Amino acid sequence: MRTTLRKLNKYRDESWDFRTADTKQYTHCFHPYPAMMIPQVAGRILDEFGEDAKLLFDPYCGTGTSLVEANLRGINAIGSDINPLARLIAKVKTTIIPVAKVDAHLKDFYDLIFSIRLGGKEIKPKIPEFKNIGYWFKKETQYWLAVVKEYIERIEDEDIQDFFKVAFSETVREVSLTRNSEFKLYRMSEKQIEEFNPDVLSIMVDKLIRNRKGMAEYISRKKNKASSKIFGFNTVCGIPENIILPESIDIIVTSPPYGDSRTTVAYGQFSRLSNQWLGLEEYNEVDKISMGGIRRKGLKNFKFEPLDSVLSQIAHIDKKRAYDVISFYIDYEKSITNISRVVKRGGIVAYVVGNRRVKGIEIPNDEITGEFFERNGFKHIKTILRDIPNKRMPKRNSPTNVAGVTDTTMTYEYIVILRKEEGGNDT
């Protein structure tokens, strides 16, 4: 019955596509990141469903898109993410850093570069040691990255230091020998490597100038005292009550992972080189502790026919892949159960999800999300389908692992809106 009602309230709305929108306004211009929710979607959800909201929670906040949009509207926000790089970027994007202070440090950095370019300043930086640094970075690139890193470490103001770290992280990724069009770590061809000689200092300066402009725009637009707090707890394991009290959240706006990191977006791989250069210790754990990161063996009955049916079909083709999917949804359901407890009665949950394909079989993630929340006392309001022209996601995968044989992963996003009912949990 609930599945039928959800399907009746599911529709396509092209006004949510935002095909021509500028998705890089304000601090949204900072640092690319996989599968980012575009700010226009988060903003419109807040405008339509969060008019009276005082506190937003994004349990998989990534680089903080929904946090920025909440703060711009005077809504305080809490975000959590297991990736230390994402938390760093989200913190900087939501922190007001006076432009005059940024400019003073930019001038100091420019003076250093000018001195180096003229040959008047010789620097012998300590190049960090981590596995495969020579595989991913040319010797000269390592030198200049180490020069920048040592400059950043001497900055005493923590907010400014973090501002520089975000630009540095993006620079690291851009000057590495990775194929930057990929989410996972793949090395360039030998011919590409031979021709690749990036100017680390110029790239770093470009990132700083762009981010300075974004920060100035953010400060100009934000005329309130709303702020964000960002944490690293894993919602699969629970939500600490000393951070978020039960039934204290007015609205959740988030875009969760669509599947395990091995077969969808490997956030840990995307961030690894930056995390290594920045000395963020947890970098090796990101994909392992993500939802579905630990593969369970054996089939499971979720008691929800649309999910159990696709699991059976996948298992018939490839049991190991079925175990990956099962492992993800075991964790996903735990996460949703924990998240449900912190939402107020009458509070809103908005999950922006994609319906991925595994072995050519589409998994109805929107229906699964709705079902898991309804088991925790929520009522489905509506599901909106939008095209995803701007989202940085792989649109094809290899279902058979045979070279050249690909399949469409997803072309639509589903914005699943639910409200927590005033009564007890509907189990």
In this structure, are 311 and 242 located in the same domain? yes
Q: Please say whether the dihedral angle defined by the alpha carbons of residues 177, 180, 183 and 187, taken in this order, is positive or negative.
A: negative
CA 135/CA 123 separation, integer angstroms: 24
Whether 213 maps to a domain, the answer reads yes
Give how many domains the chain has, as a whole number: 2
In this structure, are 203 and 103 located in the same domain? yes
Whether 427 maps to a domain, the answer reads no
In this structure, are 262 and 395 located in the same domain? yes
CA 420/CA 290 separation, integer angstroms: 26
Q: What's the average pLDDT block by block, 10 residues per block, for the chain (427 residues)?
A: 75 96 97 93 98 97 98 98 95 98 97 86 86 94 97 98 98 93 83 96 98 98 97 97 98 91 71 91 71 84 96 95 94 97 98 94 97 98 89 48 47 95 62
Q: Name the nearest CA neighbour of 60 among 283, 349, 355.
A: 349
Separation of first and last alpha carbons in the chain: 14
- Joined together, the tokens standing for residue 388 give 């995803």
Provide the β-strand partners of residue 354: 413
Whether 170 maps to a domain, the answer reads yes
CA 21/CA 64 separation, integer angstroms: 19
Q: Which of 204, 219, 234 is the last residue of a domain?
A: 219
Whether 9 maps to a domain, the answer reads yes
In this structure, are 163 and 77 located in the same domain? no
In this structure, are 215 and 226 located in the same domain? no
Residues 6+ apart with CB under 8 A from 335: 59, 235, 236, 256, 291
CB burial string 16-32: b at 16+ within 10 A, e below? bbbeeeebebbbbbbbe
Strands (E), 55-97: 55-58, 76-80
pLDDT of residue 281: 66
In this structure, are 156 and 106 located in the same domain? yes
Residue 396's alpha-carbon distances to 87, 263, 290, 360, 423, in angstroms, are 28, 12, 22, 11, 43
Range of the domain at 153: 99-219
Residues 6+ apart with CB under 8 A from 274: 85, 168, 169, 170, 172, 173
Residue 11's SS3 state is strand
Q: Name the nearest CA neighbour of 206 among 22, 24, 390, 31.
A: 31
CA 175/CA 204 separation, integer angstroms: 10
- Joined together, the tokens standing for residue 394 give 């792989």
Q: Which of 174, 196, 219 is the last residue of a domain?
A: 219
Number of DSSP helices (H) and strands (E) in the chain, helices first: 15, 12
pLDDT of residue 121: 67
pLDDT of residue 398: 46
CA 348/CA 353 separation, integer angstroms: 16
CA 200/CA 207 separation, integer angstroms: 11
In this structure, are 251 and 204 located in the same domain? no
Whether 48 maps to a domain, the answer reads yes
In this structure, are 75 and 116 located in the same domain? no
- Joined together, the tokens standing for residue 225 give 């005292």
Whether 379 maps to a domain, the answer reads yes
Whether 426 maps to a domain, the answer reads no
Model confidence pTM above 0.85: yes
Q: Which of 196, 219, 242 is the last residue of a domain?
A: 219
In this structure, are 226 and 190 located in the same domain? no
